[in-house]
Amino acid sequence: MYISLLLDTEDLIAPEADDVAMWCADILHEERAPATFCVVGENARLLKSRKRSDVIASLTRHDIGLHSDQHSVHPTIMEYLRDKGWDDGIAEVVRRESPGLASIREVFGKSPSTFAGPGATWGPQIHAAMRQLGIPSVMYALTAIPGGRNIHRFAGTRSYPRRDFTDMNDGSYRNPVEWRTNFDINLKALKAFQDAGYHWAGVFMGHPTHILHENFWDFDNLAYGKTVPRAQWVPPKRISDADLKVALANFRTTARTLRNLPGIEIKAIAEMNAIYDRASTAPVDRSGQESVWERIHGDLAKISEWPILEKQFDFSKIAATTRGQLHTLETESLVAG
């Protein structure tokens, strides 16, 4: 089984989070564990304006994804897609997210392998928009196909399902007991994916900012529709240097352990895309489409309560548009040999 390690680089406030992103990238490189760093477009621009060529160089040794242009600044993606239909929704995603794509290309000198929505974002138009923009995949997809094969196409774009991820729980690295407990749960989950015959599973390694801070950078400023002006944003609370040292040591052990798991090979998303570019696709039939709808709708209801959205967020139009595109679901199968 292949696994991909994902990290989200997104702190628009605390410059010290840049260092932690660099240290994580260096540790993963030293442990020969190639990862995909999903970077917010605004973060790429901040790295450039802060002249952090050291951070940029460390991240560039890994695969790079786009974690939206503005992350949790309102309107967030689902907020701007709330009332949109299909064509106007695609146009809106292209308009709002293309500056992020341009910044990633400019700062890292390569194109993102994937689009990873911030804070459990979902919008079916994203998939079609990424196809237009030339970003070859969408991460954390709510869509799925029946059976154990997980990577699929939706609206013409390769999709890596959210359900096929394990989460290292970045806030736990600093606490050895919590980290160990959570890591064991993750290792069990990976083994279960492996035993079920999955080709691939995602491992969310964390947000560098949340390894460094007790709380999320955006929570006090932007959660649940809050719109504190940028000049008044309150920075997140830093952990102690001693705790950070523990956190980074546990991060390293995590990478090393994953690297040495039997029967598991780490591949960044760019490499997974290259492997699946050789896959053959087939449409999912009507009953297959219907069989996954309840689960997609349930997941959509859950993520609609995430702090990246206003409270009581109305996701009904996004749900209807998603359902209307289920006929575009396709399996992707690797031909043996």
CA-CA distance, 321 to 217, in Å (whole number)? Answer: 32
**Where on the phi/psi map is residue 85: left (φ > 0), alpha (ψ -120 to 50), or beta?**
beta
Cα gap 139→63, rounded to integer Å: 14
Stretch that binds Zn ion, among 7-15, 100-108, 134-142, 222-230 (CB under 5 A): 7-15
Q: Which is nearer to Zn ion, 8 or 299 (CB)?
A: 8
Residue from 4, 5, 6, 8 that binds Zn ion (CB under 5 A)?
A: 8
Question: Binding residue for Zn ion (CB under 5 A) from 10, 18, 218, 299?
Answer: 10
Q: Which residues contact 69 (CB under 8 A, 6 or more apart)?
A: 40, 41, 42, 96, 97, 98, 99, 100, 103
What number of other Cβ atoms are within 10 A of residue 263's Cβ?
7
Query: Cis peptide leading into 229, omega within 30 of 0?
Result: no
Q: Which helix (H) or strand (E) holds 38?
A: strand 35-39
Binding track over 118-157 against Zn ion, x by CB under 5 A: x---------------------------------------
Least distance between Zn ion and beta carbon 73 (Å): 12
CB of 72 to Zn ion, least distance (A): 8
| 104 neighbors 39 (Cβ within 8 angstroms) | yes
Residue 332 pairs in a beta bridge with 281
* Position 218 contacts Zn ion (CB under 5 A): no
* Cβ distance to Zn ion smaller for residue 34 or 118: 118
Least distance to Zn ion, CB of residue 70, Å: 11
Minimum distance from residue 40 beta carbon to Zn ion (Å): 7
Is beta strand 63-66 parallel, antiparallel or unpaired with respect to 137-141? unpaired
> Residue 10 Cβ, how far from Zn ion at the closest point, in Å?
4
Closest CB 175 distance from Zn ion, rounded Å: 22
To Zn ion, the closest distance from the beta carbon of 36 in angstroms equals 13
CA gyration radius for the chain? 19
Residue whose pair of structure tokens reads 């994203």 in the numeric block: 126
The one-letter code for the residue type at 4 is S
Residue 280 CB, shortest distance to Zn ion, in Å, is 33
Q: Which is nearer to Zn ion, 68 or 328 (CB)?
A: 68
For Zn ion, the binding residues in 101-120 under the rule CB under 5 A are 118
Cβ neighbours of residue 231 under 8 Å, at least 6 residues apart?
none
Residue 246 and residue 179: Cα distance in Å, rounded?
10
State which residue, 10 or 31, has the beta carbon closest to Zn ion: 10
Q: How many residues bind Zn ion (CB under 5 A)?
A: 3
Contacting positions for Zn ion (CB under 5 A): 8, 10, 118
